[in-house]
Amino acid sequence: MNLKEDVGIKAANYVKDGMTVGLGTGSTAYYMIKEIGRKIKEEKLNVVGVPTSTVSKQQAIDIGIPIKSIDEVKKVDLIIDGADEISTDYQGMKGGGAALLFEKIVATYTDQVIWIVDESKMVDKLGEFPLPVEVIPYGQHQLFHLFAQKGYHPSFRMENDQMKITDSGHSIIDLNLTQIDNPEKLAKELDETVGVVEHGLFLNMVNTVIIGKQSGAQTISNIR
């Protein structure tokens, strides 16, 4: 069974007629977007999608999901998105696909947040996956040194031997932390660091998690 496909399809069932839906990014969200496209075509589902990246936007356009930007809608009813790690207390890390900024903006203005993951993403503590920090290019090497001095083992995100540039023109510094004991403290510290635009800690944000398992998907609702 393709676990990402399974949870993508299950999550699309939360989308009801007339909703405005945040379209997450990544290899799991891909299946959710595909399923919403199918429902529009075959079941005449009537929805508007708010994409969180140029990749999701293009996929939505290609399969006929009507889209609007976050600034063109009054509010978003639901966002369905992937995650890189989810801890046992349902805090998340995102941004492995460099879409964290738009994902966090859309999630912030959304009534209900659903994350879809395969079981490999469930962890005791966040931090094994490198924490993405989106930074303004001006001064980014100073920031890199600052993170190195703090022992955060930074690395610039690369793509085809070039620095990865996000949809909003920023760079990404990944922090190789191994384990994050206090995500709230680290999030606050990064929020207060000049030059940091956003980071991949998505704390106290998710309402529902759908976990793909070989034995059958598990849905955890009413998280907050």
Ligand X SMILES: O=C[C@H](O)[C@H](O)[C@H](O)COP(=O)(O)O
For ligand X, the binding residues (CB under 6 A) are 24-29, 81-84, 94-100, 103
27 is in an annotated binding site: yes
Q: Nearer Cβ to ligand X, position 17 or 159? A: 159
Phi, psi of 48 (to 5 degrees): -120, 135
Smallest gap from Cβ 28 to ligand X, in A, equals 3
Q: Helices (H) and strands (E) in the chain — how many of each?
A: 6, 16
Question: Which ranges in the chain belong to alpha helices (H)?
Answer: 3-12, 29-42, 54-63, 100-108, 140-149, 183-191
Where b means 16+ CB within 10 Å and e means fewer, 108-121 reads: eebebbbbbbbeeb
28 is in an annotated binding site: yes
Q: Nearer Cβ to ligand X, position 148 or 223? A: 223
24 is in an annotated binding site: no
Which of 103, 128, 159, 189 is catalytic? The answer is 103
Smallest gap from Cβ 180 to ligand X, in A, equals 16
Pairwise CA distance, residues 7 & 18, whole Å: 22
120 is in an annotated binding site: no
DSSP notation for 54-77:
HHHHHHHHHHT--B--GGGSS-EE
Cβ atoms of 81 and 115 closer than 8 Å: yes
Smallest gap from Cβ 199 to ligand X, in A, equals 12
Nearest to 23 by CA among 12, 13, 7: 12
Pairwise CA distance, residues 77 & 17, whole Å: 11
118 is in an annotated binding site: no
Number of Cβ within 10 Å of residue 69's Cβ equals 11
Smallest gap from Cβ 202 to ligand X, in A, equals 8
167 is in an annotated binding site: no
Q: Nearer Cβ to ligand X, position 115 or 144? A: 115
Pairwise CA distance, residues 120 & 82, whole Å: 12
Residue facing ligand X at closest CB distance: 26
Smallest gap from Cβ 55 to ligand X, in A, equals 9
Q: Nearer Cβ to ligand X, position 94 or 170? A: 94
Catalytic annotation present for 103: yes
Q: Nearer Cβ to ligand X, position 77 or 174? A: 174
Which sequence positions are flagged as catalytic? 103
Residues annotated within a binding site: 25-28, 81-84, 94-97, 121
Residues annotated within a binding site for substrate: 25-28, 81-84, 94-97, 121
